[in-house]
């Protein structure tokens, strides 16, 4: 009998605002039928004071924004403890990912940098980025 081997996909989420931080937590907490993680998530944010705050908060298991969602707070603590999620400001990790999701204000200065890194696998229409 051949046993199916499930490979953990590497996901990068650019932008750790409220939506990006919640999305990072949701992806990192997704488990397969064997109760193993499906995704290893890297959250990416700006090299700025606010970006550093969001990265530090996520990496310590604390949601970086005010929320009453107890499940979100609990899941973030769990995925950090289980090492399914990390936050960084290094764009080079995009090269090693299987899936890239972008959750940024397209008016940000980093938009053009991200756009150039994603290139072939993405289409750009107006201020929206669509990646496969």
CATH number reported for the structural domain that contains residue 24 in this entry: 3.40.50.720
- In-domain check, residue 27: yes
Residues 39-94: tens digit of each pLDDT: 999 999 999 999 999 999 999 999 999 999 999 999 999 999 999 999 999 988 88
- 19 part of a folded domain: yes
Q: How many domains does the chain have?
A: 1
With a pLDDT cut of 90, the percent of the chain lying above it is 57
Assess if residue 58 is contained within a domain.
Answer: yes
Residues in the chain: 132
Relative to beta strand 9-14, strand 39-44 is parallel
> Measuring CA to CA, how many Å separate 73 from each of 25, 29, 31, 78, 126?
9, 12, 17, 9, 34
- Tell whether 4 is covered by a domain: no
Q: Rounded mean pLDDT of 12-28?
A: 94
Give the integer Cα–Cα distance in Å for 76 and 94. Answer: 22
Q: d(Cα 30, Cα 36) in Å, to the nearest integer? A: 8
- Domain membership of residue 92 as a residue range: 9-131
Residue 124 placed within a domain: yes
Question: Which of residues 67 and 4 earns the better pLDDT score?
Answer: 67
Query: Is 1 among the domain residues?
Result: no
C-alpha 6/C-alpha 32 separation (Å) is 9
Is pLDDT of 2 > 90?
A: no
Q: Is residue 3 part of a domain?
A: no
Q: What is the pTM of this model?
A: 0.78
């Amino acid at each position: 009998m051949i046993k199916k081997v499930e490979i953990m996909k590497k996901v990068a989420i650019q932008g750790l605002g409220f939506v990006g931080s919640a999305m990072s937590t949701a992806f990192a907490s997704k488990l397969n039928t064997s109760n193993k993680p499906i995704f290893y998530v890297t959250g990416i944010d700006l090299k700025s004071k606010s970006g550093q705050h969001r990265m530090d908060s996520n990496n310590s298991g604390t949601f970086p924004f005010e929320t009453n969602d107890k499940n979100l707070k609990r899941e973030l603590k769990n995925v950090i403890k289980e090492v399914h999620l990390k936050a960084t400001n290094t764009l080079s990790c995009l090269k090693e990912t299987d899936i890239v999701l972008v959750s940024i204000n397209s008016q940000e200065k980093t938009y053009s940098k991200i756009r150039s890194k994603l290139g072939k696998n993405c289409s750009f229409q107006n201020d929206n980025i669509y990646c496969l």
